[in-house]
């Protein structure tokens, strides 16, 4: 949700900022802007992508070695030039970039209007910078104090950076609820929403904590205080991210690259945690809290979107392997429902970004009621990871494509290892089954590799279906969440309407939609309920629907019924999601490309949803 990047140091700021914006563009891409200081504050902004901003500034003065830049995902006000960030203060001496939502902006705005201020944009951000300047002028305080006083009046979430013509050697950054990372270089600082714009310049970073304000000065001094004026000592972390992971490496899109990375990313999720030869599954990050999981009366999984689908797979895994009841909750519903939470509940929060506002709020709520929080996040040092008592990183590497692919399979991998580890310690899995399962999961990366070879076949299939208006995805058991995920992937990147259902639910309503125009993707690998899946296929065929079936290699019965067949390698039922997801990702990808959609940056979406 919005990307922020700022620079202060000896170099020209603009090239650093624009490169940073390109890296952050996955977070929002409806408008972009930059403010640079070279004696005077220059501000340029436009609707559209970062490339539009580059065109706009082509003949402008972009010199200066201090600056702030922003790529936006609109919350307040439509995506146009005026609502784009940065925003000026009334005197145009200050400019601000902001990620988050100022919830009480309307009250603050009407107070400011009563005092004679006018506003150009419809944004909450412009209200904040007006408020800061108003305090600075009327209370006769310095910029830092003005920011501090203003932030004490603000309700909501923010990651902000402020630049001032009167303080040409200083940037001020602050954070609450939205992420902000400071890169600490040699005599220079970068500030960004995540580490991707920073990695080219330094591996030393400081993650700003809640309600902290940082003052970054050109002489290399970094001071952090809270909004309540408490001094904080910056803690410098070392980034482990590799630069190559942020590039397309010859693929047409990040999404395709990330789909193809899955044999490696799944292996990386298991690295150091699974030793199939020795029969060991151990997740170091949760070891101190394992007894909580073993003794849990209930597990609640909270997540959103694709991560929620991974959570559904987790429900099947944990119930089967550990016999602990599991509830899977949309974080946004859970947090506002006054949920019943017990101290012996374990809440597992799943989030690729680790910044999703609803998931973060859900775990804060559960934590306040005494539950144990286990995080499964991809982004190291992210807010959810830090808020959790314990957890396991997925280690899938940065996911740049807005549609989640490799993070999903990595999340399922971690959930499988977690359930296996707890189940074996709890005695709810027999030793022979445990060995069978860990050997099978060990072979999954090679099977994913093999599944990816279906790519050509799926591209041909995509050509056949690229112009349809609706798709139905069906699956039973472990394949039900796969159906949901397949449908989500298709709709978000190709804009074709798609629905996922448990196959047996079809007859309770969606069957009304089926006619010869309706393609139905059915994941038909189930061993336990194979006959039932065949009945569901017959029901579709009887109404002339087109069946695209994902089956296990060597299948006969479904092959005879389906219009199109995708054969994936044989595996045990609980691991099928790791394989069956791959052709569905590829199908969505190729259909979207053929429809001319922007696969890596689908309309209206953003990678990291840091607003409610
Ligand atoms: C879909 C997608 C989203 C995210 C959701 C949660 O492709 O990416 O549905 O899964 O916004 O995000 P995280 O996992 O970062 O909490």
To the query of whether residue 304 is one of the catalytic residues in this protein, the response is no
Closest C-alpha among 525, 533, 534 to residue 571: 525
Q: CA-to-CA distance for 149 and 177, rounded, in angstroms?
A: 18
Q: Which ligand 1 atom sits closest to the C-alpha of 384?
A: 16
Pocket test for ligand 1, best of 259, 305, 353, 609 (most atoms within 8 A of CB): 305
DSSP 234-260: --PEEP---GGGGS-TT-SSHHHHHHH
The H or E element containing residue 546 is: strand 546-552
Strands 66-72 and 31-37: antiparallel
Contacts of 6 (CB under 8 A, 6+ apart): 17, 67, 68, 69, 97, 161, 163, 171, 173, 190, 191, 192
Q: CA-to-CA distance for 453 and 449, rounded, in angstroms?
A: 7
Closest C-alpha among 112, 74, 612 to residue 336: 612
Pocket test for ligand 1, best of 259, 302, 306 (most atoms within 8 A of CB): 306
pLDDT recorded at residue 1: 72
Domains of the chain in start order, with CATH, are 3-239 (3.60.20.10), 247-449 (3.40.50.10490), 453-599 (3.40.50.10490)
Q: Which residues line ligand 1 (CB under 6 A)?
A: 304-307, 351-353, 356, 359, 403-404, 488, 492, 608-609
Handedness of CA 411, 209, 193, 487 (dihedral sign): positive
Q: CA-to-CA distance for 503 and 108, rounded, in angstroms?
A: 51
| Alpha carbon of 147 to ligand 1 centroid (Å) | 32
| Alpha carbon of 255 to ligand 1 centroid (Å) | 14
* 49, 175, 406, 607: the active-site residue: 607
To the query of whether residue 238 is one of the catalytic residues in this protein, the response is no
Residue 576 and residue 477 in contact, taking contact as beta carbons nearer than 8 Å? no
| Alpha carbon of 404 to ligand 1 centroid (Å) | 6
| Alpha carbon of 354 to ligand 1 centroid (Å) | 10
Alpha-carbon dihedral of residues 505, 509, 514, 519, nearest 10 degrees?
-40
Three-state SS at 390 = strand
Q: 173: which strand partners?
A: 161, 214
Instruction: Indicate which residue's Cα is closest to atom 5 of ligand 1.
Output: 305
Query: Residue 318's Cα: distance from chain center in Å?
Result: 24
Strands 390-393 and 470-475: unpaired
Three-state SS at 505 = helix
For residue 535, the tally of other CB atoms under 10 A from its CB is: 13
pLDDT recorded at residue 278: 93
- 10-residue mean pLDDT series, the chain (612 residues): 93 97 88 96 95 96 97 83 95 96 94 95 95 97 98 94 97 93 96 93 95 96 97 92 80 96 96 94 95 97 98 98 98 94 97 94 96 96 93 94 97 98 96 96 98 98 97 96 98 97 91 92 89 91 94 93 96 97 98 96 82 72
Instruction: Indicate which residue's Cα is closest to atom 8 of ligand 1.
Output: 404
| Alpha carbon of 218 to ligand 1 centroid (Å) | 37
Helix and strand numbers, DSSP H then E, in the chain = 19, 27
Q: CA-to-CA distance for 27 and 353, rounded, in angstroms?
A: 11
Q: CA-to-CA distance for 350 and 347, rounded, in angstroms?
A: 10
Closest C-alpha among 30, 8, 34 to residue 19: 34
């Amino acid at each position: 949700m919005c990307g922020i990047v700022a620079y202060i140091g000896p170099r020209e700021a603009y090239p650093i900022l624009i490169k940073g914006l390109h890296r952050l563009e996955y977070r929002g891409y409806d408008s972009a802007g930059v403010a640079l200081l070279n004696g005077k504050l220059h501000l340029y902004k436009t609707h559209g992508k970062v490339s539009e901003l580059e065109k706009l500034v082509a003949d402008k003065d972009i010199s200066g070695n201090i600056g702030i830049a922003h790529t936006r995902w609109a919350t307040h006000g439509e995506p146009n030039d005026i609502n784009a960030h940065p925003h000026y203060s009334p005197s145009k001496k200050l400019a601000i970039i902001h990620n988050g939502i100022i919830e009480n902006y309307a009250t603050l705005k009407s107070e400011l209007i009563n005092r004679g201020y006018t506003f150009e944009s419809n944004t909450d951000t412009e209200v904040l910078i007006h408020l800061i300047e108003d305090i600075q002028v009327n209370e006769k305080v310095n910029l830092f104090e003005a920011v501090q006083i203003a932030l004490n009046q603000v309700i909501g979430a923010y990651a902000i950076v402020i630049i001032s013509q009167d303080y040409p050697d200083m940037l001020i950054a602050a954070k609450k609820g939205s992420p902000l990372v400071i890169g600490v270089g040699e005599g220079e600082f970068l500030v960004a929403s995540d580490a991707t714009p920073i990695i080219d310049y330094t591996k030393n970073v400081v993650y700003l904590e809640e309600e902290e304000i940082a003052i970054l000065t050109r002489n290399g001094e970094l001071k952090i205080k809270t909004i309540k004026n408490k001094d904080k000592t910056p803690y410098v972390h070392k980034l482990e991210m590799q630069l190559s992971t942020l590039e397309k490496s010859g693929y047409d899109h990040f999404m395709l690259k990330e789909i193809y990375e899955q044999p490696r990313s799944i292996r990386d999720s298991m690295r150091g945690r699974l030793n199939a030869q020795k029969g060991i599954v151990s997740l170091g990050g949760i070891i101190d809290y394992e007894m909580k999981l073993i003794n849990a009366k209930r597990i609640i999984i909270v997540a959103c979107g694709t991560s929620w689908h991974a959570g559904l797979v987790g429900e099947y895994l944990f119930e089967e392997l550990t016999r602990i009841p599991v509830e899977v909750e949309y974080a946004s519903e859970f947090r506002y429902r006054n949920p019943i939470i017990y101290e012996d509940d374990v809440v597992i929060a799943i989030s690729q970004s680790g910044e999703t506002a609803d998931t973060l709020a859900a775990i804060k709520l559960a934590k306040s009621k005494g539950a144990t929080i286990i995080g499964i996040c991809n982004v190291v040092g992210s807010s959810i990871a830090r808020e959790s008592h314990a957890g396991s990183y997925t280690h899938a590497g940065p996911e740049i494509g807005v549609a989640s692919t490799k993070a999903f399979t990595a999340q399922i991998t971690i959930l499988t290892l977690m359930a296996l580890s707890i189940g074996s310690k709890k005695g709810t899995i027999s030793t022979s089954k445990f060995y069978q399962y860990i050997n099978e999961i060990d072979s999954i990366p090679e099977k994913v590799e093999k599944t990816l070879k279906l790519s050509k076949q799926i591209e041909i299939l995509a050509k056949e279906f690229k112009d349809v208006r609706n798709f139905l995805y069906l699956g039973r058991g472990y394949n039900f969440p796969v159906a949901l995920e397949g449908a989500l992937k298709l709709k978000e990147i190709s804009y074709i309407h798609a629905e996922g259902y448990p196959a047996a639910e079809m007859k309770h309503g969606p069957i009304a939609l089926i006619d010869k125009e309706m393609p139905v993707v059915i994941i038909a690998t189930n061993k336990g309920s194979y006959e039932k899946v065949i009945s569901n296929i017959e029901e579709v065929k009887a109404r002339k629907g087109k069946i695209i079936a994902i089956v296990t290699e060597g299948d006969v019965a479904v092959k005879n019924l389906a219009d199109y067949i995708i054969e994936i390698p044989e595996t045990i039922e609980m691991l099928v999601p790791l394989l069956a997801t791959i052709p569905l990702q590829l199908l969505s990808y190729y259909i979207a490309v053929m429809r001319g959609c922007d696969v890596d940056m689908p309309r209206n979406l953003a990678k990291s949803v840091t607003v409610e």
